[in-house]
């Protein structure tokens, strides 16, 4: 072997070894998202671009479609970050968990109630079946809150049917297994184009509700604060790319939602990127208080819970105070 070839081989060996050492040195964590919808697009972008690696983390991002299963995995130490509505954190903590919300990526209901065309107003749901993704999840909570708001008694006046994910809800609606469904985008628009009508847009209720934020265990945050900060920086960059790169956002959403028609997503994207998802999705006490108040109607022991016990606002505050977000957006 010539000296030149030997030198080239040596450089390659050193480079590969350095990369291997660097890869081994990165803290490894696992995170889970629990549903498919436009509100999760910053997370899909985060995964697609492997943004955590940019901030010194080796993150395995998993789809765990059942929130209860994700919570159980986190309690067992198998997951370090999970997306969950505030209701999941509260229920887990009432059973001995120590979850807190790090973000409130959405801070109001985002579901639309899509129904058969013959149903003209929410009160017409009396005696009907409404599909949700899963009992105890965000769609379940949202529907129960809305039904109560309309003077209907959940499970008595209206049957609430657990169907699965939103694609399964849409299929059940089309097959007339249910009369209405709680859908977020892009599936709400898909249902509209299939001939179903929007009976109600729950975001118009103006109710503060902590939804689809990242959460983690208090014990993990305490022991790994630097890892949590790095992970949240990656998530904030995912939000930044979602809000500023429409082409990327829609293409990634198409891949993860398996809805090929980008025209279905245009209006929803504008609404979510400009109005619903903020640059810095600080966890919100009022959004948690809504959940506590609603749960306390059937579980009075929850009445005196302190919403501050279910959030940790210090992580995002520290990142924002450092100037990280201003640097991202250039202002």
DSSP E strand stretches across 27-158: 28-33, 58-63, 81-84, 99-101, 106-108, 112-115, 129-132
For residues 204-221, average pLDDT:
88
Lowest mean pLDDT among 58-62, 63-67, 283-287: 63-67
Q: If pLDDT is split at 50, 70 and 90, which confidence band does 24 have?
A: low
CA distance 134 to 143: 11
CA distance 161 to 166: 13
| The two domains 25-108+209-329 and 112-205 share their CATH topology (first three levels equal) | yes
pLDDT per residue as tens digits for the range 144-164? 999 999 999 999 999 999 998
Distance in Å from the first CA to the final CA of the chain: 56
Domain 25-108+209-329 has CATH 1.20.1250.20: no
Mean of per-residue pLDDT scores for the chain: 88
Q: What confidence score (pLDDT) does residue 261 get? A: 81
Kindly report the pTM of this predicted structure. 0.82
Q: If pLDDT is split at 50, 70 and 90, which confidence band does 5 have?
A: very low
Task: Count Cβ atoms within 10 A of the Cβ of residue 323 and give its class: 0-12 exposed, 13-18 middle, 19 or more buried.
Answer: exposed
3-state SS, residue 250: helix
Domain locations along the chain: 25-108+209-329, 112-205
Answer yes or no: is pLDDT of 16 > 50. Answer: no
Answer yes or no: is pLDDT of 274 > 80. Answer: yes
For residues 122-142, average pLDDT:
91
- Residue 102 near residue 215 (C-beta atoms within 8 A): yes
- Separation in Å, CA 324 to CA 48, 78, 319: 22, 30, 6
Answer yes or no: is pLDDT of 8 > 60. Answer: no
Contacts of 111 (CB under 8 A, 6+ apart): 138, 139, 142, 143, 182, 183, 184, 188, 202
Q: What confidence score (pLDDT) does residue 213 get? A: 79
- Residue 31 near residue 79 (C-beta atoms within 8 A): yes
Answer yes or no: is pLDDT of 41 > 90. Answer: yes
Backbone angles phi, psi at 20, to 5 degrees: -65, -45
Q: 112-205: what CATH class?
A: alpha beta
């Amino acid at each position: 072997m010539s000296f030149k070839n030997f030198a080239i081989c040596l450089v390659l060996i050193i480079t590969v070894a350095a990369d291997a050492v660097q890869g081994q040195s990165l803290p490894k964590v696992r995170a889970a998202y629990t549903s498919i919808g436009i509100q999760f697009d910053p997370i899909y972008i985060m995964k697609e671009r492997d943004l955590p690696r940019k901030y010194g983390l080796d993150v395995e991002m998993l789809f765990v479609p059942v929130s209860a299963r994700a919570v159980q995995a986190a309690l067992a130490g198998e997951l370090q970050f999970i997306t969950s509505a505030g209701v999941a954190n509260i229920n887990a903590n009432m059973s001995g968990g120590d979850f807190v919300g790090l973000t409130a990526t959405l801070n109001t209901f985002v579901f639309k109630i899509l129904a058969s065309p013959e149903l003209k107003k929410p009160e017409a749901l009396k005696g009907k079946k409404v599909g949700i993704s899963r009992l105890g999840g965000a769609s379940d909570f949202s529907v129960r809150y809305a039904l109560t708001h309309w003077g209907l008694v959940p499970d008595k006046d209206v049957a609430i049917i657990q169907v699965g994910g939103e694609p399964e809800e849409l299929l059940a609606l089309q097959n007339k297994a249910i009369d209405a469904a709680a859908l977020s985008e892009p599936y709400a628009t898909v249902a509209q184009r299939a001939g179903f009508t929007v009976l109600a847009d729950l975001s118009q209720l103006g109710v503060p509700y902590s939804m689809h934020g990242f959460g983690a265990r208090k014990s993990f945050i305490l022991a790994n604060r630097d890892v949590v900060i790095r992970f949240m920086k990656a998530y904030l960059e995912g939000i930044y790319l979602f809000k500023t790169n429409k082409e990327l956002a829609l293409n990634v959403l198409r891949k993860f939602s398996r809805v090929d028609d980008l025209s279905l997503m245009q209006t929803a994207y504008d609404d979510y990127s400009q109005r619903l998802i903020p640059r810095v999705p600080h966890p919100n006490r009022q959004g948690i208080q809504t959940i506590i108040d609603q749960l306390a109607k059937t579980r009075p022991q929850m009445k005196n819970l302190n919403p501050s016990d279910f959030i940790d606002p210090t992580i995002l505050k520290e990142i924002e105070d450092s100037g990280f977000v201003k640097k991202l957006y250039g202002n």
